[in-house]
Every structure is written in C-alpha cells, then in structure tokens.
C-alpha cells in the first residue's frame, strides 16, 4: 500500500485538493518503519528507564500514525465510492417517524373532566287507566314520573352547557350535578332536533369552561377519550381511537357529520365530551350502535365545530339559521365505465317544493344535480349538509342535467322552515 501511494502513476494535480491532502497524509504516516526508536535502542546499550521511555514513545507514535492513516483511507474510500455512504444512510435511517404515545392520559382528563356535568331529568306522564282498573285507582288517569340521565359540557364560565336534544326533550325538570358536588336547576335556552343538540343555562358562580379544539384536524387512528355519566357513574372515562370521520348515513338526524369511535359510549354518556390527548373537546357524544344491532364499541360524536356553530346561533338568535333549497335528493346508483371502475356523479332530485328556491331556479323532480358552485356532488346527505351551513339569502350556482341537456342555474336560499 505504501509503495502504491508513493509511486502512484496518476497525476495528483488532477485530483481535488481534499483528496490530494489525504493522499499526502497517508503517504507520510504509513508505518513503513515500525518501532524505529525501539530498534535503534536495542543496538545501543542504555539504561532500562530510557529504553522504556523510547518504547512508549514509539508505540504512541505508531498508534497516532495508524489513526491518521485510517481517517485518510476512510475519506478516500467515501470520496471514490459515495454510494457506500448512501447505502449505510438508507439502512440506518428509519422508514417513518412514529410518535410515542404517553403512558398516561391523566393530564388530559384533569383538564376537561371538571367541565363535564351529569344531567338528571324528570318527566311527568299522564296515562289513561283501563276501565277494569279504574275501580282500584279511583280515577280514569294515573300520573307516572319517569327519570332519566345524561351528560353535558360546560362551554363557558357563565353557565352555558352543550348537550343532546334527546336528553332534555319533553322533560319537565332538569337538574345538573357539577364536578365539585354542587347541584343546580337548568333551563333550556334552545334546541336543534336536526343535529340533536341543545343548550342549557345554569346560574352558578365559579364554573370551569371546557377547552374546545380550535380546529377539526381529526385523523382516523387518533386517540380519544369519552367522559360522561355512564349508567349514573359520573365522570366515567373510556378510551379508544377515531374509527372514522364524516359519517352521514346513520339516518339518526337530518344533518349528520359524525365522528365514529370505539371508545365506549354507554347509556348516560349522551351529551358528554369526546376529547383528544391534549384534553381538548373535539366532539359531543350522542349515540352508539348497541346489542340490538349486534355491534360492539361503535359510538358516534357530533364534531365540536358543528356543535359550536349551533350553540352560538341558539344563544344569539334563539334558533339556528340555515339555508334551504326546497328540494329532496337521493344518491344515484354506481355506474360501471368500460375500464371497470365504479363511479357516481351527481345526485337525483326526488321532490321539489312548489314556489321554493329550487322551483324558482327551474329545477324539477327527476333532474340530476351535477355540481354546486363548480364543485362536483355525489352524496345527497353531504350536499344537504353543505346547503344547511349557508346563511339564508346566499346565492348558489347549480349545474343540472335533464335527460340529454345540461344547464346552469342560480338559486337564492331561504330560511329553513320547521321540519318537525
């Protein structure tokens, strides 16, 4: 090796300066005269002390030259064959960065649990007694009290509570149990059956408001926790993941955009909080698919963005203002192009209210609606949700197909009339 470097036939001036420097260092430090001091010391009679010092010095020099030589060789190899470095980099680099989950979610629970309340309702029902039993009861009617329970989320420190409409619908008395053991009577500010949301108000001081997620950046696989009054066990916490988003085919309410989770949502959890790992509320728990459907751990929550919008409108206006087109739609069947793929474009117009916005825009039953504001549509329920989220008075552009004819038209939305 020493001879090859010392007598290399190539013109070193053609090499980069870094490589020439490494070759020079390598040629000067190759151990071609090993232990020179030691060998010369053996030919001259000296004291053992001097011999020891020279030997140590020679060994140190040999090790130093070897290290320098190795570094120079490494630089030359990596310079001449850079693919070696790339291969080691690829082998050592991780394929994907995976975030390590925390060992405990206690901090997230501590942040939100105080703002989750337990709701207890009482309904008084008057039932008619069969004639054969009237002699026993002494009256043709009997009064029955039915008690139920649910959950809610304090969304402000002045006492506003978000819950489900089905928790408080048609009840006569609503009692709220707080985290610190206090009880308060609640009044209904307003409700929205179309999304199964309701807003309550209590008059209590020192209330902790829940931290609401600022965005809706929810991904399938995210860890979530459900907090609520499950079976009367207040502030029960269950954990799972986001199983799906944008569920709108349950036919449970008119406007659906549910978060699906496998965190257990039991009886009494309705209206409680679904939180992320930071303790932020991302949804209001609303329902599950239970044993009658043969389901296990399939629960649903209303996204907090939708819940916040409904709550703000109820507090400000006493009701929810929604755009309404005045037509009913249904999904089209899938079509099979020649390449074998399955596609669906457009939605079917099933019915049109005479004199409504759709009727005025020239849309009739049997038409195919292709796009909304230049965006293709293929999901009837998603289209109706999009219309409902626009304000009355908004103008929309629609592309419509009638048999072989395709045309554009404009419609001005109006306030949605009561549907129930």
Q: Which of 22, 115, 191, 270 is catalytic?
A: 270
pLDDT at 420: 56
Q: Are 2 and 25 in contact (CB under 8 A)?
A: no
Whether the predicted pLDDT of 7 surpasses 50: no
How far apart CA 130 and CA 193 sit, in angstroms, is 34
Q: Which of 16-25, 96-105, 290-299, 366-375 has the highest mean pLDDT?
A: 366-375
Matching residue, tokens 């995210």: 222
The predicted-structure confidence for 235-256, as pLDDT tens digits, reads as follows 999 999 999 998 887 777 888 8
pLDDT at 293: 65
Average pLDDT, the chain: 82
Average of pLDDT values for 4-25?
51
Q: Domain ranges in the chain?
A: 2-92, 102-320, 323-415
Other Cβ atoms less than 10 A from the Cβ of 113: the count is 20
Whether the predicted pLDDT of 8 surpasses 60: no
Q: Are 178 and 184 in contact (CB under 8 A)?
A: yes
What percent of the chain clears pLDDT 90, i.e. is strictly above it?
55
Matching residue, tokens 């020679």: 58
Average of pLDDT values for 14-40?
51
pLDDT at 251: 77
CATH for 323-415 (2.170.190.11, 3.40.50.1360, 2.30.42.10, 3.40.190.10): 2.30.42.10
pLDDT at 199: 97
Q: Which of 22-31, 61-70, 72-81, 340-349 has the weakest average pLDDT?
A: 22-31
Q: Does this model's pTM top 0.75?
A: no
With b meaning 16 or more CB within 10 Å and e meaning fewer, what string describes 121-157?
beeeeeeeeeeeeeeeeeeeeeeeeeebbbbbbbbee
**CB-based burial label for 81 (10 Å; 0-12, 13-18, 19+):** exposed
pLDDT at 87: 57
Q: Are 226 and 299 in contact (CB under 8 A)?
A: yes
120 or 46, which is more confident:
120
Whether the predicted pLDDT of 38 surpasses 50: no
Task: Give yes or no: 270 in active site.
Answer: yes
What percent of the chain clears pLDDT 70, i.e. is strictly above it?
73
Whether the predicted pLDDT of 29 surpasses 90: no
Q: Which of 22, 27, 118, 166 is catalytic?
A: 166
The CATH code that applies to domain 102-320 is 2.40.10.120
Whether the predicted pLDDT of 50 surpasses 70: no
Q: Which of 196, 235, 243, 367 is catalytic?
A: 196
Our CA angle for 338, 343, 345, nearest 5°, is 120
347 or 297, which is more confident:
347
> 48-80 and 82-92 are packed helices; what angle lies between their axes, rounded to 10 degrees?
90
Q: What is the CA radius of gyration of the chain?
A: 38
The predicted-structure confidence for 168-184, as pLDDT tens digits, reads as follows 999 999 999 999 999 99
Our CA angle for 219, 222, 228, nearest 5°, is 115
How far apart CA 169 and CA 155 sit, in angstroms, is 20
188 or 131, which is more confident:
188
Whether the predicted pLDDT of 83 surpasses 70: no
pLDDT at 60: 65
Whether the predicted pLDDT of 37 surpasses 50: no
């Amino acid at each position: 090796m020493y001879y090859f470097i010392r007598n290399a036939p190539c013109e070193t001036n053609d090499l980069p300066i870094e490589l020439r420097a490494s070759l020079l260092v390598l040629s000067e430090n190759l151990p071609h005269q090993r232990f020179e001091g030691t060998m010369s010391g053996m030919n001259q009679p000296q004291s053992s002390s001097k011999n020891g010092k020279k030997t140590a010095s020679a060994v140190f020099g040999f090790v130093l030259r070897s290290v320098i030589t190795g570094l120079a060789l490494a630089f030359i190899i990596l310079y001449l064959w850079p693919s070696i470095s790339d291969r080691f980099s690829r082998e050592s680099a991780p394929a994907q960065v995976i975030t390590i989950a925390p060992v405990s979610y206690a901090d997230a629970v501590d942040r939100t649990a105080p703002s989750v309340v337990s709701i207890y309702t009482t309904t008084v029902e008057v039932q008619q007694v069969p004639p054969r039993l009237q002699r026993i009861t002494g009256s043709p009617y009997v009064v029955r009290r039915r008690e139920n329970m649910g959950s809610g989320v304090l969304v402000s420190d002045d006492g506003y509570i978000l819950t489900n409409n089905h928790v408080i619908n048609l009840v006569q008395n609503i009692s709220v149990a707080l985290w610190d053991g206090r009880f308060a009577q609640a009044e209904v500010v307003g409700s929205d059956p179309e999304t199964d949301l309701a807003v309550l108000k209590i008059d209590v001081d020192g209330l902790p408001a829940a931290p609401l997620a600022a965005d809706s950046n929810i991904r399938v696989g995210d860890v979530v926790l459900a907090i609520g009054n499950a079976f009367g066990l207040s502030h029960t916490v269950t954990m799972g993941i986001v199983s799906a988003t944008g569920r709108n085919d349950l036919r449970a309410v008119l406007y659906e955009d549910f978060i699906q989770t496998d965190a257990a949502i039991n009886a009494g959890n309705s209206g409680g909080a679904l939180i992320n790992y930071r303790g932020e509320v991302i949804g209001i728990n609303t329902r599950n698919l239970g044993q009658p459907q043969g389901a296990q751990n399939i629960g649903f929550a209303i996204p907090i963005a939708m819940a916040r919008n409904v709550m703000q409108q109820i507090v400000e206006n006493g009701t929810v203002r929604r755009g309404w087109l005045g037509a009913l739609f249904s999904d089209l069947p899938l079509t099979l192009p020649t390449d074998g793929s399955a596609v669906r474009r457009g939605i079917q117009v099933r019915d049109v209210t005479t004199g409504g916005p759709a009727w005025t825009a020239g849309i009739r039953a049997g038409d195919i609606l292709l796009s909304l504001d230049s965006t293709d549509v293929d999901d009837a329920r998603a289209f109706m949700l999009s219309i409902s989220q626009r304000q009355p008075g908004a103008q929309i552009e629609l592309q419509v197909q009638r048999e072989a004819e395709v045309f554009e038209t404009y419609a001005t939305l109006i306030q949605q009339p009561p549907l129930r």
